[in-house]
A and B are shown apart, each in its own frame.
Chain A
Amino acid sequence: MDEEGENVKLVIGIVRPEKANDVLEALYRAEVRGVSISRVEGHGGELERVETYRGTTVKMGLSDKARFEVAVSESFVQPTIEALCDGARTGEVGDGKIFVVPLEQAVRIRTGESDEAAVTPVAHR
């Protein structure tokens, strides 16, 4: 059980919101199914944007980002990373980061399947 659990990873990609559609396309082409997206704000060392509202000038310390979470089996980790890079890269500072973390356990609620079976799309079996 423990060994099986190590075969499932969570790939977290934090990307520019305007590139989110490109990433989705790239993931689709890499046959990675099952993804969550959330809108987040963060700071990653990029230049701060200056905005002015009447007399008030501010530096925007946080930028909008889209956060992808993709739970995949070991063999899909690399394709997922490549898809995230392909879709999100512009070459400018602020393209984002990818984090890969081991998953203790994954469960498909509908069937109770766990781990690899839980993150493998139904159509693939």
Chain B
Amino acid sequence: MSALGAVLPLAQVDTGDTAWMLTSTALVLLMTIGLGLFYAGLVRAKSTLNTFMMCVSAMAIGGVTWALLGYSLAFDGEAALLGGLDHVALNGVGFEPREGGTIPALVFMAFQGTFCIITVALVSGAVVERMRFGAWMVFAALWSVLVYAVLAHWAFGGGWLAGQGLLDFAGGVPVEMGSGFAALAAALVVGQRKDYGRQALLPHNAVYVLLGAGLLWFGWFGFNGGSGLSAGNSSVLAFVNTMLTPACALLTWFALDLIRGRRVTAIGAATAIIVGCVLITPAGGFVSPGWAMALGFLGALPCYAVIVWRPRTRVDETLDVLAAHGIAGFTGILFLGLVAQIGWNGVADGLLYGDAGQFWSQALGAAVAPAYAFIATFALLKLVGAIMPLRASEHEEAVGMDVVYHGEEAYASGEGAILVQPESDHERLVAEPS
């Protein structure tokens, strides 16, 4: 929030800030389609559409639950655990800025809503190719309120983590650790794909994966660059760091790929882009560009290690949301506690610049967010699983999710397809001769 809003006696809208926040909101919404493409390329051809549709359904579900309930629980008041109900169904959310803000509350609500949407979509990566579409949508609706909105309140909405000094620029807690550790719980409850560990389950289109990663990176300029809620210095810093950190993470990934397999891989590169963007998400507006680069080079290491290790386990956390988001978010939020500089952010110093307390605030966030996301998601899925089956049958899994749940194929040839005449035409044809 820019200093301007605090100085003026009455909350006043800044049109420059508003213009950038409107743009950022659209950029973040595009990320969910980018993520759909990224995920769709990573699965087998027969589940392409279903995987993409899980992300599209997050736009529908997250958009609605956020407006109806999630926004109020996250951003109404500064109670320690949960916001109030005064903004339910967007009550009282209008053109007036929130306290201390310079953009209309409506824009703020929409911007934060796109965060809720992408976070819900991220979790789907853990359960693709076997979860029932209906069960997914029920779970997504509950999760967007009971997990995302709660974590958003704690980190962004003046809840207890923010209250004890946690710095989280663009969502290391609710978005990245929230989705990453929820993904681990979801993979454990839903269980592995029937062929996992028996057959090689390979990505079916690496070009989708790269293009999706590119769209995500593009959208992330709004995600991080908009999280200053203005067009001011913190947004500028976060925007620039969003260019630098993924570039450095890419170089580290290339080097690790070379050491491990003597070749630089394309899907590895796409993953590195995501990891870099996630690493800088919590730290974006708080650390210098130099430290942002260091974060990219160093922070990629633990994520790479988890990506290599996870497929050797029995846990089919299919698209490695834990490694790319959970671990990267964890790393970013701790790193920021080390290297934040008041000269760059005007808010706080990290451990290396003399404030050890800031590091412990960060460490608390890094402990609490994964624990809550994991436990709440585990319990929630057990509950949904008690009401309806979570998984497709083995036969349906073999046929593929696209045909089973959507009645469409991503790569339909049209050969052998017999046109079914629409009923109205059919009736007319039958009726006309008489």
A joins B in a complex: yes
The answer, yes or no, to whether B409 is at the interface (CB within 8 Å) is yes
The answer, yes or no, to whether A75 is at the interface (CB within 8 Å) is no
Given A56-B419, A59-B420, A62-B415, answer yes or no on A50-B399 (Cβ-Cβ < 8 Å). Answer: no
Residues of B within 8 A of A61 (CB): 416-418
On whether the beta carbons of B395 and A51 are closer than 8 Å, the reply is no
Return A125 CB to nearest CB of chain B, in Å.
31
Residues of B within 8 A of A90 (CB): 395
On whether the beta carbons of B395 and A58 are closer than 8 Å, the reply is no
On whether the beta carbons of A21 and B422 are closer than 8 Å, the reply is no
Residues of A within 8 A of B199 (CB): 21
Of all chain B residues, the one with the shortest Cβ separation from A49 is: B403
The answer, yes or no, to whether A57 is at the interface (CB within 8 Å) is yes
Given A16-B398, A18-B398, A21-B199, answer yes or no on A62-B407 (Cβ-Cβ < 8 Å). Answer: no
Of all chain B residues, the one with the shortest Cβ separation from A42 is: B416
The answer, yes or no, to whether A53 is at the interface (CB within 8 Å) is yes
Most chain B Cβ neighbours within 10 Å, of A48, A49, A55, A60: A60
Q: How far is the CA of A51 from the CA of B418 in the complex (A)?
A: 10
The answer, yes or no, to whether B347 is at the interface (CB within 8 Å) is no
In chain A between 1 and 55, which residues have their CB closer than 8 angstroms to a CB of chain B?
Answer: 16, 18-19, 21, 41, 43, 48-53, 55
Return B233 CB to nearest CB of chain A, in Å.
48
B408 contacts which of A53, A55, A59, A92 (Cβ < 8 Å)?
A: A53
Q: How far is the CA of A19 from the CA of B194 in the complex (A)?
A: 13
On whether the beta carbons of B407 and A43 are closer than 8 Å, the reply is no
Of all chain A residues, the one with the shortest Cβ separation from B403 is: A49
A92 contacts which of B395, B407, B415, B418 (Cβ < 8 Å)?
A: B395
Q: How far is the CA of A92 from the CA of B396 in the complex (A)?
A: 13
Given A50-B407, A61-B417, A90-B395, answer yes or no on A55-B412 (Cβ-Cβ < 8 Å). Answer: no
Number of interface residues of B (CB under 8 A): 20
Q: How far is the CA of A92 from the CA of B398 in the complex (A)?
A: 13
B422 contacts which of A49, A53, A55, A62 (Cβ < 8 Å)?
A: A55
On whether the beta carbons of A50 and B420 are closer than 8 Å, the reply is yes
On whether the beta carbons of B416 and A60 are closer than 8 Å, the reply is yes
On whether the beta carbons of B420 and A60 are closer than 8 Å, the reply is no
Most chain B Cβ neighbours within 10 Å, of A43, A48, A58: A58
Q: How far is the CA of A43 from the CA of B399 in the complex (A)?
A: 16
Most chain A Cβ neighbours within 10 Å, of B195, B417, B420: B417
Residues of B within 8 A of A51 (CB): 403, 407-409, 412, 417
Q: How far is the CA of A62 from the CA of B409 in the complex (A)?
A: 14
Given A16-B398, A21-B199, A53-B408, answer yes or no on A58-B418 (Cβ-Cβ < 8 Å). Answer: yes
Given A51-B407, A51-B409, A57-B422, answer yes or no on A43-B395 (Cβ-Cβ < 8 Å). Answer: no
Residues of B within 8 A of A55 (CB): 422
Q: How far is the CA of A49 from the CA of B409 in the complex (A)?
A: 11
Given A16-B398, A41-B415, A51-B412, answer yes or no on A58-B403 (Cβ-Cβ < 8 Å). Answer: no
Chain B residues in contact with chain A, CB under 8 A?
195, 198-199, 395, 398-400, 403, 407-409, 412-413, 415-420, 422
Q: List 14 A-B contacts (CB under 8 A).
A: A18-B399, A21-B199, A41-B416, A43-B416, A50-B420, A51-B412, A53-B412, A56-B419, A58-B418, A59-B417, A59-B420, A60-B416, A60-B418, A61-B418
